[in-house]
Structure formats: structure tokens, C-alpha cells
Amino acid sequence: MDQSMYFTAVEFLGLEADLLDDRRYGEWLQLLAPEIEYLVPVRRSLEGSLEDEFDDDSAWIRENYRSLEARVRRMSLPNAWTEQPRPLTRHFVSNVRVAAGGAEDTISVGSNLLLRRQVASGSEMFSGKRLDRWRRDVGTWRLVRREVRLDHTAVEARNLSIIF
């Protein structure tokens, strides 16, 4: 694996985390490919199974570009009450692993995510693994697919009005 690819991935993920934590969602949208698939599947706990088990048909979050635009637009509206006052998030991204993506000009990037959110009335912590596919574009990379596998079945959070 090309070492420079690893550094590019780490830098890109760091930039993305900063954009999200600074609530620069418009700029974050620009990192996405128009064909973006963004998925946070629902995890199930099954006895006797050592595999990751997820529902095929339900999802916590399952978005395309247009629906992400709507979510992002909402988060800046003064009457989106989940965002008033603005929650403080901190994305801790680690365990970055990069591999060739299969198709030309794409790479697969895995990362661990610890995300803490502080709201006026309390805080929440989320943990999960992110499986990304990025495509090279002129002078930059675009996120084509992200799957966020949360380490939760039931979620102990007042809402998932959040971008992992």
C-alpha cells in the first residue's frame, strides 16, 4: 500500500472531522460525490453469532445527496430545536486503514469513530466503525459511500440528528 495514500486519508478524515465539528456543513457536502450512499444500519444482537449482524431493511440513517442536503439545511435553521443551542460535537477518528478500492481511482478507508456530543442538558457518546469508499476527483477526493457500524443496538441518545 502506498504510504502517501495513508497520509492523504488521515489528512482528509481530519479535515472532514473539523468541518463537522465546526458545523461547516455546506463545505462538508462539497466533499461528497453526487452518488453518495450514507448508511447507518441497525445492529442486532444474535445469540450464537460471532458475526456483525445488521438488519437488511431498516436503518437509523440512510441517505442520498438530496436527503443529506435537507438534513444539512435543517441543522442551520433557527427553529430546528434539536440544534438550539448548538450541540458541541467532537469526532475522534482513529485506526485508519486504507486499501485499494476495486474500481480505478477509488480507495477503501476504514476508521474507528468515537463521537462525543454535548447539549445543554447532557452529553452522549457514540462508538463505531466507518467503512468508506472514496473516489479521486480533480484535486480532491469525494466520499462515495460511508457505512457507519455503531457499537450499539438500542441507542441511548435523545436523537440521531448528527453526522457521524
Partner 1 sequence: MTTSVIGQLGASNDEVERGILPAHWFSSEELFAIEREKVFGRGWMFVGHLSEIAAPGDFQLRKLAGESVIFVHGHDDRHRVLVNSCRHRGGMICRSDKGNAEHFECPWHAWTYSNDGALVGVPGAVGYSADFDKSDHGLLEVRSEQHAGFVFATFDNDAQPLHDELSGMDWYLDLAARRSERGLKVVGSPTVWTIPANWKFAADNFVGDTGHFASVHGCSLELGLYPFVELDYFANIQVGDGHGLFFNGIRYPKPGRSFLELRGYPVELVDSLHRNLSEGQVEFLDRSIAYGATIFPNTSFFDPVFADLDGLFPAGFCSFFSIRVWQPVSATQTEVWSWLLVEGEFDEQQSASIYNSYMRTFGASGMLEGDDVAAWEGGTRTAGGLGNRNIPRLLIQGHDLPVDTEMPGPGTAYASPNPFACGENSQRGFYKRWYSEMSR
Footprint on this chain of partner 1 (rule: CB under 8 A): 40, 42, 44-48, 55-64, 66-67, 70-71, 73-74, 77, 79-82, 84, 121-122, 153-162
Choice between 15 and 46, CB closer to partner 1: 46
Residues in the chain, how many?
Answer: 164
Find the shortest distance in angstroms from Cβ 73 to partner 1: 6
Burial class (CB in 10 A: 0-12, 13-18, 19+), 114: middle
Q: In the bound complex, what is the minimum distance in angstroms from residue 100's beta carbon to partner 1?
A: 30
- How far apart CA 160 and CA 116 sit, in angstroms, is 12
Residue 38 and residue 66 in contact, taking contact as beta carbons nearer than 8 Å? no
Q: Whose Cβ is closer to partner 1: residue 29's or residue 157's?
A: 157
Taking the alpha carbons at both ends of the chain, their separation in whole angstroms is 26
Least CB distance to partner 1 at residue 91 (A): 17
Q: How far is the CB of 45 from partner 1 (least distance, A)?
A: 5
DSSP one-letter code for 83: G
